[in-house]
Amino acid sequence: DTGVSQDPRHKITKRGQNVTFRCDPISEHNRLYWYRQTLGQGPEFLTYFQNEAQLEKSRLLSDRFSAERPKGSFSTLEIQRTEQGDSAMYLCASSLMVGGPYEQYFGPGTRLTVT
């Protein structure tokens, strides 16, 4: 399968703990995006990378959130001191850069539950 993959698929954590999610994009895609989706809503943009550079961050991305893409391939999203309001589906997507706007291809998501 050469699609976008995310790990883990589900994460249950206690409030105050730190969590980290991983995303592996489609190999030839150099753009990578993180979105958050809560129940009954569409995905909301969090941040975006072009290769290893983080070029845009949403105001939704508080200072407890940090994302990296160290070698321009996979990416990690870390949430520190989790809160119950962080419970959501975290989606990763990737796309090509040249030309466009190209469609984004999404992974299956990581569902986070903060208890």
Contacting other proteins within 48-87 (CB under 8 A)? 48, 50, 55-56, 58
Identity of the amino acid at 39 = L
Using CB under 8 A, which of 1, 53, 63, 101 touches other proteins? 101
- Nearest-angstrom CA–CA distance, 80 and 78: 6
Which of 79, 25, 33 is closest to 58 using CA atoms? 33
Shortest distance in whole angstroms from residue 84 CB to other proteins: 22
The number of residues that bind other proteins (CB under 8 A) is: 25
The continuous run of DSSP H or E covering 12 comes out as strand 10-13
28 binds other proteins (CB under 8 A): no
- Cβ atoms of 9 and 110 closer than 8 Å: yes
What does the binding site for other proteins look like in residue numbers (CB under 8 A)?
4, 6, 31, 33, 40-45, 48, 50, 55-56, 58, 91, 93, 101, 103-109
